[in-house]
């Protein structure tokens, strides 16, 4: 692992810790989306899906919820789960 990958892992851990153990409302959807896309670049699809689903759940009225849906569908495409991708795109 290089330094950048460790930084991304640390950031992911910190956001997940806040989501699970602290007040969820302290986490901005922009921070969560940035983290999800950073993790996606490292092909950690499961963790990225987890964060994207949390964005959708926590901020359904936020504009970024649409982006979260888009990236979630793209991950399912990467995983060749085209049925789930189509459902999310739909």
3-33 pLDDT per residue, tens = 777 677 767 777 666 665 555 557 889 989 9
Q: Looking at per-residue confidence, does 8 or 49 come out higher?
A: 49
d(CA 71, CA 7): 22
Helices (H), 1-90: 3-21, 29-41, 45-58, 64-78, 82-89
3-state secondary structure of 86: helix
- Residue 80 confidence (pLDDT) above 80: yes
Name the DSSP letter for residue 27.
Answer: S
Q: How far apart are CA 52 and CA 2, in angstroms?
A: 25
Helix (H, G, I), strand (E, B) or coil at 22: coil
């Amino acid at each position: 692992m290089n330094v950048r990958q460790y930084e991304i892992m640390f950031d992911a851990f910190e956001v997940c810790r806040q989501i699970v153990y602290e007040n969820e409302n302290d986490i901005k959807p922009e921070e969560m989306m940035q983290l999800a896309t950073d993790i996606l670049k490292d092909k950690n699809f499961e963790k990225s899906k987890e964060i994207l689903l949390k964005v959708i759940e926590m901020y359904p009225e936020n504009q970024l919820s649409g982006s979260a849906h888009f990236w979630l569908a793209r991950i399912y495409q990467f995983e060749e789960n085209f049925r789930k991708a189509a459902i999310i795109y739909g």
